[in-house]
Chains A and B, each alone.
Chain A
Amino acid sequence: MEEQKTVVEQAKEELEKRFSRTLAVAASNLCVHCGLCVDQCHYFVATRDPNISPVAKAEQVRRVVKGEHDWLRRIFPWWTGAKELTEEDLDKWVEAAFRNCSMCQRCVVNCPLGVDTPLVLATARGVLTAVGKAPEILVQLADAAIAREENLEFFKDFYLEQIKELEAELQKKVGDPEARIPVGVEGARFLYVPLSGAHTIMPAAEIFYHAGESWTLSMFEAANYGIFLNDPVRSKRITERIIREAERLKVQEIIITECGHAYAVSRWEAPKWFKDQPWNFRVRSILEVMDEYIQTGRIQVDKSRNPFSVTYHDSCNLGRNSGLFDEPRRILAACVEDFREMTPNRERNYCCGGGGGLVAIPEWQDIRLEAGKPKADQIRATGAEAVVASCDNCRHQLGEINEHYGLNVRVMGMAELVANAIVPNNGKK
């Protein structure tokens, strides 16, 4: 009978499986410990704790990787800090990789050498998930998303009933009893993938209505907790549900709701997982669609309908991870009278503190709010009355830091803002 492997042995095996060229570089002698990334991380800025700087967090994992691969590891491991993995290290990794890093990538764009610290920490997340040490709630949420497909028949009727109620609301809002929230329509142009919650469906439905769009609502939610676990099996299965649905309905595009990580997964990560089965539809964010509608005049907007001052939070996953910087700004220029940029912004923006799955973990709310301090300061400095975020996780976190730091701002989604600004019925077929 095969002897059961210890947690440490399993972890080492998983680490080895993930040892790619990019990881080998990020976990090598590349990092010169110069410390330039230290005050680029919102955790350090908020806490001034040298143990949670990017380099200090990555170093915990890097030393173990060096323990396996550094040339001096056998003769003088202590010389380069190389070490053997222990179970205690794994417990510390949970803090470093899950609690104290939101995977925002701000340290990468600020490292003169290009050390991919979040890759090192994401690898630790993957290893921890494989050995059962990842935060349970993230595992449950990922598994629930997979189970939804497996038990679709069970959910379907209840879901359709809820959508009917929302449809009635939409009809009232736009004053048209013919207005629809279509589900399962074959041949529609868009498959729109929302999150749980009417706030990710209603403004989009209203915008699609005014644009006269051919669309259909997905049976699934866009959220992919598998990516926070860095678990390729779960992440792939969660994405696959939507791909299968898009193929079945023969849509031309998958439109992801205002959700940073879901967009980054579908737009950038999933093509790597499905490279042998290329898709014949494209993936866009609702941000890109709203921008297109406004630029092409497919919907008419009136900025005087949003008469308050607005600032925009660049979600790390939409901005620094996906390059959506100009689209939200063009939308804001058309839809609000007083737009105020935060400083810094775009790829230099600070994370709100809620990324990487942190908003889903209630027991880490303390550090999440503390790490949100640089963002709170940024918002306050603009003097804006509202802050717009095009990511649901960010909105959740911004709502909490709004309360925690007494910012007194309104936290809004971009679709909500656009829906407010729409000149009714224009463009309706």
Chain B
Amino acid sequence: MEDRFLEFVKFDLQIIALSVFALLYALKVYQLMKLPWPREMGPRRGSEELGVVYSFAWLFFPWSMSSTTQHLGRWVEFALYHLGAGAAILGTFTIPFWPAIMTRPVSLTMAALVIGGFIVGAIKLARRIIAPELRVVSTPDDYFSLAAVEVFFFFTAMALITEARGWMIAYFLITAAFLFYVPFSKISHYVYWFFARVFFGLRYGRRGIIAGKRA
């Protein structure tokens, strides 16, 4: 009976939550694609294709922007936070669907990444509360989303370290709740991020600003 509950949160609930999540994202993308898109038409000075590649690649090279060059620590935070998020999300798939790879060293490595993300999350939350330039633009969703990710990180780390049934149930329940909330929140930024980087690359690439031949 008890194991059936664990099985339910691990599999059925995840599949339901993931389906709702995917459906909501598909709807978001559909709404965007329906809108007009004023494309660049001026004769090319540079390469749109290279522009798009550069645009995505910039993320991995902190020296590509003044903002990340000036605030290298913020870039490191960004990397650690997203590595933590990646590990936490990965766990929601590997634990139920690929348990064979979840050996002790793998679980502990993933837990370490998640703990790194948790620590950075705490710093981000503190900064949002303290820094006036962030406070003036922050909404309840900004604070809640950060806090929610912290909770998610915490339960992920505990589940990975202890591998105990109770922590596992909590982890999968939190994951499901998270999947239902994310499409409505600030956390959904990554869907738009994909579009924004493409738009950026096309424009700044075509105009010969970031990539390609400068004729």
Please say whether chains A and B are actual partners in one complex.
Answer: yes
A-side residues, CB < 8 A to B, are 19-22, 24-26, 28-40, 44, 50-51, 53, 55-56, 59, 71-72, 78-81, 108-116, 267-272, 275, 282, 319-323, 325-326, 344, 347-348
- Is B196 at the interface (CB under 8 A from chain A)? yes
Pairwise interchain contact A25-B37, C-beta atoms closer than 8 A: no
- Complex interface: chain B residues within 8 A of A323 (CB): 45-46, 207-209, 214
Assembly CA distance A326 to B55 (angstroms)? 21
Q: Mark B31-52, 1 if CB is under 8 A from A, else 0.
A: 1110111111111011000000
Residues from chain B with Cβ under 8 Å of A79 in the complex: 139-141, 144
Q: Inside 8 A of B67's CB, which chain A residues have their CB?
A: 36-37, 39-40, 110-112
Residues of B within 8 A of A269 (CB): 42
A237 vs B18: C-alpha distance when bound (angstroms): 51
For residue B4, CB closer than 8 A to chain A, the reply is: no
Q: How far is the CA of A79 from the CA of B142 in the complex (A)?
A: 9
Using Cβ atoms and an 8 Å threshold, which residues of chain B touch A111? 67
Q: How distant is the Cα of A26 from the Cα of B139 in the complex, in angstroms?
A: 17
Across the A-B interface, give the 4 residue pairs with the lowest CB-CB distance, nearest first.
A323-B208, A30-B192, A114-B196, A271-B41
Is B138 engaged at the interface, CB distance under 8 Å to the other chain? yes
Contacts A35-B131, A36-B71 given; does A267 touch B42 at CB 8 Å: yes
27 pairs of residues in contact across A and B, judged by CB atoms under 8 Å: A21-B33, A21-B35, A24-B31, A25-B196, A30-B189, A30-B193, A32-B189, A33-B134, A33-B142, A36-B68, A37-B67, A40-B67, A44-B133, A50-B133, A59-B137, A72-B184, A80-B141, A80-B185, A108-B200, A110-B65, A112-B65, A114-B55, A116-B200, A268-B40, A272-B38, A272-B41, A325-B214
Residue in contact with A80 in the complex, picked from B136, B139, B210, CB distance below 8 Å: B139
The answer for the CA separation of A38 and B131 in the assembled complex, in Å, is: 12
If the complex has contacts A33-B138, A35-B134, A323-B214, are A114 and B189 also in contact, measured as CB distance less than 8 A?
Answer: no
**Interfacial chain A residues near B144, Cβ < 8 Å:** 79
Q: How far in angstroms is the closest Cβ of chain A from B103?
A: 35
CB of A24 within 8 A of CB of B196, answer no
Complex contacts, A72 vs chain B, CB 8 Å: 184
Q: Which residues of B contact A29 (CB under 8 A)?
A: 185-186, 188-189, 192
B207 pairs with A321, CB closer than 8 A: yes
Cβ of B73 to closest chain A Cβ, rounded Å: 11
Would you list which residues of chain B between 4 and 55 have a CB under 8 Å from chain A? Answer: 31-33, 35-43, 45-46, 55
| Other 14 A-B pairs with CB < 8 A, given A71-B183, A347-B209 | A21-B36, A33-B138, A33-B186, A36-B68, A39-B67, A72-B184, A112-B68, A113-B193, A114-B196, A267-B42, A269-B42, A272-B39, A323-B45, A323-B214
Complex contacts, B59 vs chain A, CB 8 Å: 112
Do B136 and A56 touch (CB < 8 A)?
Answer: yes
| Interface hits, B186-215 → A, CB 8 Å | 186, 188-189, 192-193, 195-197, 199-200, 204, 207-210, 214
Asked if A322 and B207 sit within 8 Å, CB to CB, the answer is yes
Interface residues of B (CB under 8 A from A): 31-33, 35-43, 45-46, 55, 58-59, 65-68, 70-71, 74, 78, 128, 131-142, 144, 183-186, 188-189, 192-193, 195-197, 199-200, 204, 207-210, 214
Query: Are the CB atoms of B37 and A39 closer together than 8 Å?
Result: no
Chain A residues near B42: list those with CB within 8 A.
267-272
Known contacts: A35-B134, A50-B133, A268-B40. The answer to whether A25 contacts B189 by CB under 8 A is: no
CB distance from B129 to the nearest CB of A (A): 13
Once the chains are docked, how many angstroms separate the CA of A303 from the CA of B74?
Answer: 45
> Which residues on B sit within 8 Å (CB–CB) of A268?
40, 42, 207
Known: A114-B55, A322-B207. A20 touches B66 (CB 8 A): no
In angstroms, Cα B197 to Cα A114, docked, is 6
Complex Cα distance, B65 from A270, in Å, reads 29
State the CA gap A161–B141 with chains docked (Å): 65
Q: How far is the CA of A427 from the CA of B207 in the complex (A)?
A: 32
- The complex places the Cα of A374 from the Cα of B8 at a distance, in Å, of 60
Bound form: Cα–Cα A295–B209 in Å:
22
Determine if B184 and A21 form an interchain contact, defined as CB atoms under 8 angstroms apart.
no
- Contact pick for B196, options A30, A34, A109, CB 8 Å: A30
By CB atoms of chain B within 10 A, which of A26, A32, A81, A347 has the most?
A32
Write the chain A residue with the least CB distance to B196. A114
Bound together, the chains give a CA A51 to CA B137 distance in angstroms of 9
Cβ contact of B36, chosen from A20, A35, A55, A56, cutoff 8 A: A20
Q: Within the complex, what minimum Cβ distance (angstroms) separates A102 from chain B?
A: 17
B35→A19 contact, CB < 8 A: yes
Find out whether the CB atom of B45 lies under 8 angstroms from the CB atom of A114: no
Say whether, besides A20-B37, A271-B42, A323-B45, A25 and B199 are in contact (CB < 8 Å). yes
